[in-house]
Chains A and B, each alone.
Chain A
Amino acid sequence: MRKEYAWRSLSIASFFILIGVLIILQIVRIQISVDGAGIRDIAEGNKGWLETVYPARGEIYDRNGKLLAGNHNVVEVGVTLEQVNNPQSIATVLSTVLDLDYFKILSAINNAGEEQIYLRLTDYVSTEAADNLKRIQGEFEEEIQNNPHQGQDDLAGLTFRDHLGRSYPEETIASNVIGFVNQSGRGFFGIEEKYNDLLAGIPVQVWVPADPNRVEEIPQVPDGATLILTIDRELQAATEATLDQSLYDYGAQAGTIIVMDPKNGEILAMASTPRLDLSNFSEYYQVFNNASEYNRAINMPYEPGSVFKILTMAAALDLGVVSPGTTYIDTGIFSFGGTNIQNWDQGAWGVQDMTGCLQNSLNVCLAWIAVDIGTDNFYQYMSRFGIGHPTGIDLSGEAGGRLKIPGDADWYPVDLATNSFGQGISTTPIQMMMAASAIANEGKMVTPHILYGMVRDEKQYNFPPQDAGRPISRETARTLNEMLANSLADGNSEALIPGYRLAGKTGTAQIPTEYGWYSDDETNASFIGWGPVDDPQFMIYVWLEKPTSSSWASYTAAPVFAQVAEDTTMLLNIPPDMIRQQFVSGQ
């Protein structure tokens, strides 16, 4: 009886053993078959995926903690191809809501590769527009469920992915300083370009396993560094408003105004025209003709004209060639290098002391001084003032200007005389400010900078001011300071504001044409000044390009300086001299 049933057990056991053997054989066959390698690759691919974690781009603040550049939610819109039922619907809705090209979308979906899973259609869509699309998608789905029929509108497959994009809450304010970030995350111009590596942080590639048992914690990728600028938003906005108004009032083509602390080189405001709404950086090509227009304060060298005379005078005083009381008899003409130098009014001003030479902006007098200083000394001093070299300000694209020196193919002896009053020489406004900082700052020149501090890993690092040398002595600086303050006060300059003693100099420069001579009817009007004279807390540079209401800086750039100086004293809480001196003596 037992043997009768034994064969049954054996059959069942053999059957299972056979199945086991067949499975093992099949496994071996698959392993060694031609398709084996491909199958192994697919299995490997399904194990997980590599994901790049991009850190959030660092924010940019002004000196008082006002956000100038931050991040906001934007949406990438794409399609999961295998879920798409009606590409025409998707193309129609996207072209209507997002103003995209209908045929481009349709063609992209229809021509996607067979192995492609996902197709990105557009990016940086606002959350409002994405919400609108999601609402339409929901309405279509509801309609399909309630009333299904052939060929109806369907947005199945439309996918949304939130991520951060750059945002500039102040729009155009300080846009020339900040720069912008394009859609691939690269900074252009200003701070965004100069500190792109710091702001962008370091992206990290992470392996994300599909098997949940192998999941590991995604490493915390530190955000890009947060930057604090020396800019004061309120002063920046006020300066920009003054610049815009002055272009209108004086019919100028363009302009720039810089406000700097002459003691430490901190840029408090830097306005330039035109300006770009950073949220619409794609309009760059409509706003600017070339890159040097982005920030005239640092990108665009020009012949500064008479503001340059302060440097010539500084060199002469420092060398002891002249003193404030030195007199010069101005006959209205000074011949040098085969050329006759004349004053701005072609007049003869008679006996003048050195303050008078500055106050009346006499080319003849300054040319005489430069010749007296001598070629080597003059150019040595100009080099010490940093003329002809970039200042090293921490903004991208700074231009160096041009200082022709003896030995250069295009230098002629007459250049010594013309350079003395800022002709035949090219500098940027920021170079002039750096050079003049030595006069306002007791002989010590400071490097202008715009980065106040950086926050990284929850620590703040503040950057100390950088000295740029001492081109003139303390005594020379003090003397010249007094001379420039007196020249403004005695000349009843329009640059003065009540209650404050200020020092400064106008500059009206002829503009060289492409044919090599100077234009008769176009000028550049400039003014450089600082105050309060006994304790300078601000230095302002104004450059108005080709003003039409008057070609003279004393009627255009000087009142603009006064307006900015008044705003600066109010916004930086700088009391009038008398009150400040009372406070100081009271302490």
Chain B
Amino acid sequence: MKIFNHRIQQAPWRIRRQKAGAVLLAIVGASMIAALYLSVSSRSTLVAREIQTLERHISLGNQENANLKTELAGLLSHEAISGRSDALDFQLATVGETHYILVPGYDGRQPITLATNADQSINTLSLSAKYSQSLFDWFESQVQRGGFR
């Protein structure tokens, strides 16, 4: 039996090579996982830093916008405009020099609307529903009005 075992056993050098191969495989596998982990984490780190940089840029951009808006307001201030109009020899018109004409449909100068979504109630009244309702809203309104009977 011993002789038989001996005959079917692999050579010791072969076993050692297999063991070394298994260890190497494990090391290579672990290295690959580590490399993958490092790669992913370094990329996510870079992206995170980029996000921080972009956020800083957004904040600086907003700051710059605010600054430019104020600078523009300074250039268009009453004093600046009056100075320019004086330099161009403009003068304020008097009542006698003014001619009034009726412009149909013009209600005179209205106060400014700064937001696109101004005064919801006015928009709802003046805009036809077809410009704002979804297909589902339209379907629901038709059902409520009995439009499908």
Contacts and interface: CB of A to CB of B under 8 A. Distances in A.
A67 B100 CA distance: 29
Given A212-B48, A217-B51, A228-B112, A497 B95 contact: yes
Given A72-B71, A170-B77, A234-B78, A460 B109 contact: no
A573 B114 contact: no
Nearest to B49: A212
A575 B100 contact: yes
B66 A460 contact: no
Nearest to A456: B115
Interface residues of B, number: 45
A72 B119 contact: no
A72 B78 contact: no
Contacts of B78: 170, 173, 233-234, 237
A67 B74 CA distance: 9
Contact of B93 (A59, A70, A171, A570): A570
Interface in B87-107: 92-96, 98, 100, 102
Nearest to A569: B95
Interface string B61-91: 0111011011101101111001000000000
Interface stretch (A31-39, A159-167, A332-340): A159-167
A218 B52 CA distance: 8
Contact of B114 (A228, A230, A566): A228
Contact of B63 (A163, A566, A569): A163
Nearest to B114: A455
A587 B82 CA distance: 36
B28 interface: no
Contact of B119 (A171, A218, A462): A462
Contacts of A569: 95
B118 interface: yes
Contacts of B109: 64, 573
A586 interface: yes
Identify whether the interface residues of B are mostly helix, strand, loop, or mixed. Answer: helix
A460 B73 contact: no
Contacts of A233: 78
A460 B64 contact: no
Contact of A215 (B51, B66, B70, B100): B51
A111 interface: no
Interface bracket on A: 35 or more
A520 interface: no
A255 B127 CA distance: 47
A61 B98 contact: no
B13 to A, nearest CB: 14
Interface in B26-60: 41, 44-46, 48-49, 51-52, 55, 60
Interface in A547-579: 566, 569-570, 573, 575-576, 579
A382 B115 CA distance: 42
Nearest to B112: A65
B147 interface: no
Nearest to A220: B58
A453 to B, nearest CB: 7
B95 to A, nearest CB: 6
A61 B112 contact: yes
B120 interface: yes
Interface of B: 41, 44-46, 48-49, 51-52, 55, 60, 62-64, 66-67, 69-71, 73-74, 76-79, 82, 92-96, 98, 100, 102, 108-109, 111-120
